[in-house]
């Protein structure tokens, strides 16, 4: 199969090795931490010192800094691009920036530290491989550092880098760094943090960001950039459990392809191959993969995050929202969901009995809140089991009853099939991010 844009048999794309594994990969990271800890400045510094800023962008931030009478160029302006952000000197919404070194391409999400904009931090961190948590060396670990670290671990971000920033303001003191490291480690011990690294930096002056600091001989670790370049993220993906949520059924209404029927989607996890025996949900019917198609022709296997079209050997009724998996390895089929949620609506709170639209993989349904198990105090991690409503930026464990079965895994095993969003049916706003916890009903 080829697209109409290319002659049959074209090898465009393959010639340059862009399909091949091993060519540059992609690392997504997000900043986090309290307001003014220096997140945006750090990103600006990273871009500046790695020489990936364009001259006109730099001129423009130099000019704005001068106009304001700053003594130095405010590198935070490289990401704080909205008028109100520049006026207030804070980040309001995530800014995405891109840069590449010979080793890797990076997608940066610079998120806001202000508590009011926590949902924007969640937006930036939800797809990140790495969270850079900034801590102001003068202030140490504050409530917002804890909240963001907790959220990052809840969102399953597999790697955490704690940047103890503004070291220039504490005489580059090893003792200050070690105290913060100790305090942070103690807090993080109660969270699920697979990998954590501490780096003392000065975002303003550039110490240990791209270049090694001349002021911290006592620090033996790597700079932030070289850490990000070397971090091994390939093994974070789930290549074991085949999950293919059907996104769209391709049935050409053209004479030349009338009999074609393919299930288009993105591989959520696992590796699929032609000839594999598969189970389709919710029908429970089994079949075999006939072929895995792309516009460039069939492929021998598909793995995340490839977007492909799967054809099966049998004619079975499958539509959007259905799931293709393996007969001996299926997700849980359930209408009862137990999940942690982060509430993101400022106008209405979540209370038992309320109904929402729910989106899980490619399936929409309706969900009713059956109960609130507890609300988490992000500072102490204490669970308040008496909570009766969940307000903006609060994190809770809740129970939902869904109008249709969903095909779920625990979020910690699968970020794709373990996540969902809730949408307010009257305002259409996305009001919660949900991470599925214990799953009970087996298929």
Ligand X SMILES: Nc1nc2c(ncn2[C@@H]2O[C@H](COP(=O)(O)OP(=O)(O)OP(=O)(O)O)[C@@H](O)[C@H]2O)c(=O)[nH]1
3-state DSSP helix/strand/coil % of the chain, to nearest 5 = 20, 35, 45
Residue 62 near residue 173 (C-beta atoms within 8 A):
no
Using CB under 6 A as the binding rule, whether residue 149 contacts ligand X is answered as no
Name 390's Cβ contacts closer than 8 Å, sequence gap at least 6.
341, 343, 349, 350, 351, 372, 375, 396, 398
Cβ at position 46, least distance to another protein in Å = 15
Question: Residue with the closest Cβ to ligand X?
Answer: 113
Q: CA 374, CA 376: separation in Å to the nearest integer?
A: 7
Cβ at position 307, least distance to another protein in Å = 4
Cis peptide before 305 (omega within 30 of 0): yes
From 251, 277, 382, 441, residue interacting with another protein (rule: CB under 8 A): 251
Nearer to ligand X, 108 or 246 (CB): 108
Site string for another protein, 281-300 (x = CB under 8 A): ------------xxxx----
Using CB under 6 A as the binding rule, whether residue 372 contacts ligand X is answered as no
Cβ at position 69, least distance to ligand X in Å = 13
Q: How far apart are the first and last CA of the chain?
A: 36
Among ligand X, Mg ion, another protein, none, residue 36 binds (CB under 5-8 Å by kind):
ligand X
Nearer to ligand X, 110 or 322 (CB): 110
Using CB under 6 A as the binding rule, whether residue 97 contacts ligand X is answered as no
Using CB under 8 A as the binding rule, whether residue 18 contacts another protein is answered as yes
Look at strands 286-294 and 297-298 and give their pairing.
antiparallel
Residue 440 near residue 334 (C-beta atoms within 8 A):
yes
Using CB under 6 A as the binding rule, whether residue 37 contacts ligand X is answered as yes
Ramachandran bin of 62, using left for φ above 0, alpha for ψ from -120 to 50, beta for the remaining angles: alpha
Nearer to ligand X, 128 or 242 (CB): 128
Nearer to ligand X, 203 or 268 (CB): 203
Cβ at position 60, least distance to ligand X in Å = 17
Look at strands 395-408 and 332-343 and give their pairing.
antiparallel
Nearer to another protein, 35 or 423 (CB): 423
Tokens of residue 172, six digits: 């580059």
Q: Give, as ranges, the residues between 378 and 397 that touch another protein (CB under 8 A).
A: none
- Which residues are at the interface with ligand X (CB under 6 A)? 35-41, 76, 90-91, 112-114, 165-166, 168-169, 202-204
């Amino acid at each position: 199969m080829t697209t109409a844009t290319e002659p049959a048999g074209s090898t465009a794309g393959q010639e340059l090795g862009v399909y091949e594994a091993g060519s540059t990969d992609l690392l997504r990271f997000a900043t986090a931490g309290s307001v003014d800890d220096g997140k945006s400045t750090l990103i600006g510094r990273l871009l500046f010192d790695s020489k990936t800023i364009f001259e006109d962008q730099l001129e423009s931030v130099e000019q704005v800094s001068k106009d304001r009478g700053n003594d130095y160029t405010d590198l935070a302006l490289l990401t704080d691009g909205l008028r109100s952000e520049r006026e207030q000197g804070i980040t309001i919404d995530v800014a995405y920036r891109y840069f590449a070194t010979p080793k890797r391409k990076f997608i940066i999400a610079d998120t806001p530290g202000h508590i009011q904009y926590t949902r924007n931090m969640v937006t930036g961190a939800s797809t990140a491989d790495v969270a850079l948590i900034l801590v102001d060396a003068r202030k140490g670990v504050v409530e917002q550092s804890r909240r963001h670290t907790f959220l990052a671990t809840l969102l399953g971000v597999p790697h955490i880098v704690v940047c103890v920033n503004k070291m220039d303001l504490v005489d580059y003191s090893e003792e200050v760094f070690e105290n913060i490291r100790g305090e942070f480690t103690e807090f993080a011990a109660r969270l699920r943090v697979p990998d954590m690294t501490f780096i003392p930096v000065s975002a303003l002056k550039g110490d240990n960001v791209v270049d090694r600091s001349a002021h911290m001989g006592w620090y033996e670790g790597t700079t932030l950039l070289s850490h990000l370049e070397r971090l091994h993220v390939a093994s974070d993906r789930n290549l074991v459990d085949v999950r293919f949520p059907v996104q769209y059924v391709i049935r050409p209404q053209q004479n030349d392809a009338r009999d074609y029927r393919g299930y288009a989607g993105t591989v959520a996890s696992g590796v699929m191959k032609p000839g594999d025996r598969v189970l389709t949900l919710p029908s429970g019917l089994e079949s075999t993969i006939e072929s895995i198609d792309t516009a460039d022709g069939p492929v021998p296997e598909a793995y995340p995050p490839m977007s492909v079209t799967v054809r099966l050997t049998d004619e079975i009724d499958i539509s959007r929202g259905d799931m293709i998996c393996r007969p001996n390895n299926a997700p849980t089929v359930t209408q009862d969901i137990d999940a942690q949620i982060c509430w993101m609506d400022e106008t209405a709170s979540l209370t038992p009995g309320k109904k929402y639209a729910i989106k899980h993989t490619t399936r929409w349904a309706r969900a009713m809140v059956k109960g609130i198990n507890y609300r988490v105090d992000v500072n102490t991690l204490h669970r308040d089991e008496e909570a009766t409503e969940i307000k903006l930026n609060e994190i809770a464990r809740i129970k939902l009853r869904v109008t249709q079965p969903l095909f779920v895994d625990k979020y910690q095993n699968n970020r794709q099939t373990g996540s969902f969003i809730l949408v307010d049916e009257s305002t259409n706003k996305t009001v919660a991010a949900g991470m599925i916890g214990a799953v009970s009903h087996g298929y």
